[in-house]
A and B are shown apart, each in its own frame.
Chain A
Amino acid sequence: MIKMQQLSKVYRTHLIETHALRGFDITVKEGEFVAVTGPSGSGKTTFLNIAGLLEEFTGGDFWLDGVSVKGLDDNARSKLRNEKLGFIFQGFNLIPDLNLFDNVDVPLRYRGFNAAERKRRIEEALGRVGLSSRLKHYPAELSGGQQQRVAIARALAGSPKVLLADEPTGNLDSQMARGVMELLEDINSQGTTILMVTHDPELAARAQRNVHIMDGTVTDLTQETRHAIKHAAEIA
């Protein structure tokens, strides 16, 4: 679903160059739930932004659902982002002037669905996160957990192949965080690939696979663990 090979990202100013990612290799298969961990400034968010086609990369290759995104123009990237990806942010990023119905409607408008199809998808998505009775409410009238559920509904409404979550529970208390995590697991169980950046080792442990980013390079912890187990067995 996501394949990055020797990916690099360099931020340049007239004074310095910062290598946010270097020689970055990762493959995420369809239906996987991958947790991305790493210290602040390690390149987690840069990786997620590139995976979400929000930023361009400096070198290497990147395929999203079999499509090479290298050299795509803004229109093509936007279309691909709209069709294949869903986003969940730490700060929810709902549009405060729009009610829940209209918030979830935003990506569907850009997809070009007709009114009936949009309505069906919005009601279904909000129903899935347990907010179907609050279509006309505004984000400010909801708790943090409920706002994050709306953000998840918005991400799901377009039936994306991949859900990109950046610290989805970072602004929530533990009870709400648990609820959101269970929702993500449920979504994943129905076939959606999830890539989640988190600081929380407990949440990371619930993912099928953990990758760790350090100084712009990635280490697959699951494989490391497997290698360690294999190595230990060989010694024994």
Chain B
Amino acid sequence: MWNYYFVLGWRSLKRNPVLTTLMILILAIGIGASMTSLTMLLVLSGDPMPHKSERLFVPKFHIQDMRGYKAGDDPDFQLTYIDAKNLLRDKRGKAQTVLFGISPTIDSGRKDLPPFFERGMATTGDIFSMFDMPFRFGNGWSSDVDDKAANVAVIGPELSEKLFKKDNPVGKTIRIDDRDYTIAGVLETWKPTPKFYRLYGTEATSRPEQLWLPFTNAVSREYRNNGWNNCSGDGAGPGYEGWLKSECTWLQYWVELESAGDAARYKDYLNAYVAEQKKLGRMPRPEQLQLLNLREWLEDAGVVGRDTKLSTWMAFGFLLVCIVNLVALMLAKFTARSGDIGVRRALGASRKEIFHQYLIEAGVIGLVGAILGLGFSWYGVHILSSRLASASDFYQIDFKMLMITLTISLCAALLAGLLPTWRACQVRPAIQLKSQ
């Protein structure tokens, strides 16, 4: 019978194309608006590494002096070079890494490709395993490379194709700021959503970097941080050495622990470290340090802004208005078919069967509305991406969103169809048959 109801629903929609188009458009626009907002919200609020987000941590220290101190101040989300180096040296986690942004010049030596700036990251070899970064060719670098500050690089797939097309460039060199670097590996496309490992400004939705150099090497080349630097207080002394010895915070630090349960022990270690630094006259603020796992880190960084949440609520409010309008149209459509319902009831259809038939018809509207709404959503996401240059191809409708869109659209249509369908079931056949 479901098949029969589906055919009847489809025929009914074809019977009045103007009304049907209106109903489908109302639903599709509501779905399009809400799904666009939801895509944004889900991308930003997703867990980029669900299998280990409980074991990846960011430490936050109160580095600054007492000037301008207010109780309850938030600790710094980045570390000084001194602290990052000390924590890296102690190696108290299963793996640990540090990051800062760089933007060196790459010279391909080709006439058809003039030198260009490339956004990159200075980091340690642990990062590749910590964040499960996939490789197309080769691997990351070893701790030896970190220790020796060697000229080794890992590049992203886009840069690899730009310089070497489809070839495997592992072992070849790449000229970075007038120095040759040996390519250890080429990453596969890797797009954690949100881009959790370094969060400030619009970084959460920016494209992953295409160049990865050893932290020690980048420091030896006196690369400055391309990103957020906090130098309140005395600021930095002269030269790069003064920068490294300063209390400026500019390094993002990550540690991976064996298990989530190890967090307390690691925090004890950090507290001991802070106590030690206090003895040296550093970190004078009385507030406790923080150790945030990945999910807490995303929450703390406010990746999902209030505006995003508000716009999602508003979009779903709009969908509700669309559903109310759809209810009114369906009510009009179904009421106009009371005669049809009366005949079917007289010929043996029970109320339940009429209910199923009309609910399926509402479902057909939902299905067509979902397909069109998906088109609107895709367009909305496209517009959103194009307006945020840093987020191009970041917001995408994946299979999960596709299923959510279909489900919400069907539920919306069925919800909208519930009252008209219930009313259709209440039709008294005797009256309808006589009035025809």
A residues apposed to B, CB below 8 Å: 45, 49, 52, 54-55, 74-75, 78-79, 81-83, 87, 89, 91, 93-95, 97, 106-107, 109-111, 154, 158, 166
Contact = CB atoms under 8 A, between A and B. Distances in A.
Nearest to A80: B348
Contacts of A93: 339, 342-343, 346, 433, 436
B15 A89 contact: no
Contacts of B349: 78, 110
B436 A82 contact: no
In which size bucket is the chain B interface? 20 to 34
A75 B350 contact: yes
Contact of A79 (B11, B350, B428): B350
B207 interface: no
Given A49-B430, A109-B4, A74 B350 contact: yes
Contacts of A54: 345-346, 428-430, 433
Interface string B345-379: 11111111100000000000000000000000000
Q: Is the interface of A mostly helix, strand, loop or mixed?
A: helix
A158 B346 CA distance: 13
A206 B343 CA distance: 28
Contacts of B92: none
B261 to A, nearest CB: 58
B434 interface: yes
Contacts of B347: 81-82, 87, 106-107, 110, 154
23 contacts: A52-B346, A54-B428, A74-B350, A74-B351, A75-B350, A75-B352, A78-B345, A78-B348, A79-B348, A81-B346, A89-B433, A89-B436, A91-B436, A93-B346, A94-B343, A97-B11, A97-B12, A107-B347, A107-B348, A110-B349, A110-B353, A111-B348, A154-B347
A226 to B, nearest CB: 33
B118 interface: no
Contacts of A45: 430, 434
A82 B429 CA distance: 14
Contacts of B344: 106, 110
A45 B1 CA distance: 32
A17 to B, nearest CB: 18
B47 interface: no
Contacts of B429: 54
Nearest to B354: A78
Across chains A and B, which 9 residue pairs bring their CB atoms closest together, nearest first? A82-B348, A78-B350, A110-B348, A107-B347, A49-B430, A54-B430, A91-B436, A93-B343, A75-B350
Contacts of B11: 97
Contacts of B346: 52, 54, 81, 87, 93
Contacts of A78: 345, 348-351, 353
Contacts of B343: 93-95, 106
Given A75-B350, A81-B348, A55 B430 contact: yes
B180 interface: no
B345 to A, nearest CB: 7
B54 interface: no
A158 B349 CA distance: 13
A97 B336 CA distance: 14
Contacts of A75: 350, 352
B340 interface: yes
A83 B347 CA distance: 9
A171 to B, nearest CB: 11
B390 to A, nearest CB: 54
Contact of B15 (A94, A97, A158): A97
Nearest to A53: B346
A95 B347 CA distance: 12
Nearest to B348: A82
